[in-house]
A and B are shown apart, each in its own frame.
Chain A
Amino acid sequence: MTLLLSITAGVLFAAGIYMVLRRSLVKILIGLLLLGYAVNLLLFNSAPLVAARPPLVAAGSSLPPQVYADPVPQALILTAIVISFGLTAFAVVLIRQVYLVTGEDDLNEMRSTDLPRQEYELPSEEEELEEPL
């Protein structure tokens, strides 16, 4: 089981990295999602995977059994899922906003902030802009 999960995580990492290297914003988002799943599997795998061994201390003993199902990675994954859910929701809105403002989905067309000399003037801070957030 551990081996299967490791391989799956590896495949997801590879697929995620491939997608992140694409130019389209939506594909990059899919890549980031895949990477998130890969990390969750990696976290899940970070403690021994055993069945029917709850992390309970037996009566009369003060230590849990030698090998037990560790609840910590699951708590970590739960937190990571919640965080990545929020980030994904924000990412979708941001990508939509980028598309509305620039009319582009291609990162190669978004170089205006990378050029040393700016052909455009950044709008001044006090100006009211019509486009709502």
Chain B
Amino acid sequence: MIVFPILLPLTAGILTLLTWKWPRLQQWLTLVGTAAQTGLALWLLRKVQAEGIQHVTIGNWPAPFGISVVVDLFSALMVTIAAVVALVVALYSQAAVDERRIRHGYYPLFFFLLMGVNGAFVTGDLFNLYVWFEVMLMASFVLIALGGERPQVEGAIKYFILNLLASTLFLSAVGLIYNLTGTLNLADLAVQMADVQAGGQVTLIAVLFLVAFGIKSAIFPLFFWLPASYHTPPVAITALFSGLLTKVGVYALFRVFTLLFVHDVGYTHTLLLVIAGLTMVTGVFGAAAQTDFRRLLSFHIISQIGYLLMGLGLYSPAAIAAGIYFMIHVILAKTALFLVAGLVHRVEGSFDLKKLGGLYAHKFWLAFLFLLPALSLAGLPPLSGFFAKLVLVIAAFDARQYAIAAVGLGVSLMTLYSMTKVWNEVFWKERKAAPARAPFRPVSAWMWAPTAVLVLLSLLAGLGAAPLLDLAAQAAGQMTEPSIYIHAVLGGMP
């Protein structure tokens, strides 16, 4: 039953392929599929919370030989949040994705992307992680290039080349680690790594993984493909990518740097902390120079990745928990912001901050929808971003890493500046009174209702921070104690 995060999108993807000629039917299939996915993901989350780590080996071969599917609390949380994002984007796509893209296979690709993402979350095998990454990337390559306009193909080619390079590095790291240990099962690897004598080689492999996953999750200095490509496809696709793709890279980093490479924490995790700081700073400064709504938000994705890495780099149960809570917060807030950018574009026909203006006076609800996730991203109480940053900074103080705490707070202020800039340009300043100014265009309920739901969820993640933080702490407890994971996989569970 726990392989459904892979099977359900696969089935739905095949069904949408079969109904290729009937877009209306595809749309309803998508809604049913993503809703079922969300329901089952919540069920899985409850099950994992109640019964501990779930584990299945394909073909019933015992663990190190068969291929494992493992769902721990972190995986289950990620599957759930991915399902929620997919459901919201599926609803939004009803009105936001044009007929032509649907006719060229938008919905099947949507599901295959989701399958790759979920596969990466639940796999317990390093090589399978590579395969799921490829499934996800393949779908995303086509999605980003779908439409074939000039900026799109230019962005797609950079995205394609750099991610392919990352996959190559990932695969070489897999080969080297197999050479060192003779296994690819993550739990078995964790056992074997403890006995490996060659510390230098382990660190080399760790850094190879860091670079490979780093390119995919857009950390400093490997992020250049992201602002070059993310703003080019339709905003529904960008929102899906920003919510899921880079986060899969971060998930993989969390997984390997809590399970496998914990023998030389002084080197690897300090490196992670330094990169985290630089990622935050470059991302937010990059955003300051932007005047395109979506490019500005793309740079903020990078800066937020830095906070996630900060949680990992501090490497204490509290810090990992903070990282996981931050992940939930940032996926909700960031996706919501992209969806709002899409709404603004639908109303005014532009993403250019210079051309927009006056939406607060004319479209109050739109301004409201922007303001909540924007302030949450900047970290104002009582929104989710505030609690996420609070627990992170407390964890940094506990670990006596004052520098990174200071960087985190400073970047938070810069984020606020950046969000204020958007607020001033898009919503507050006077609307340009050009003579031939087109009137506001109507927005379909398919677009604003899902956005409102996502904003509401983001708000709830802040107001209900205590239970979510508890959940994150439990997940972090499982992750910082690899023996639990190892026991669940190798210790003869059914």
Contact = CB atoms under 8 A, between A and B. Distances in A.
5 closest residue pairs by CB, A with B: A46-B179, A43-B175, A46-B175, A110-B154, A42-B175
Contact of A113 (B160, B178, B229): B229
Contacts of A76: 127, 174-175, 178
Q: Which of B138, B151, B176 has the most CB of A within 10 A?
A: B151
A45 B179 contact: yes
A116 B428 CA distance: 23
Q: Which of B150, B174, B231, B351 has the most CB of A within 10 A?
A: B150
B165 A133 contact: no
Given A47-B178, A79-B127, A110-B154, A129 B100 contact: yes
Contacts of A127: 98
Nearest to B157: A98
Contacts of A14: none
B153 A97 contact: yes
Interface in A57-83: 70, 72-73, 76, 79-80, 83
A39 B168 CA distance: 7
Given A39-B168, A90-B138, A25 B157 contact: yes
A122 interface: yes
B411 interface: no
Interface in A9-49: 20, 25, 28, 32, 35-36, 38-39, 42-43, 45-47
9 contacts: A35-B165, A43-B178, A46-B178, A79-B127, A102-B150, A107-B157, A122-B149, A133-B146, A133-B148
B145 A39 contact: no
A126 to B, nearest CB: 6
B127 A133 contact: no
Interface residues on B, range: 35 or more
Contact of B134 (A28, A87, A121): A87
Nearest to A73: B178
Contacts of B174: 43, 76
Interface stretch (B9-17, B285-293, B360-368): B285-293
Nearest to A109: B154
Interface string A99-128: 001100001001011101110111111111
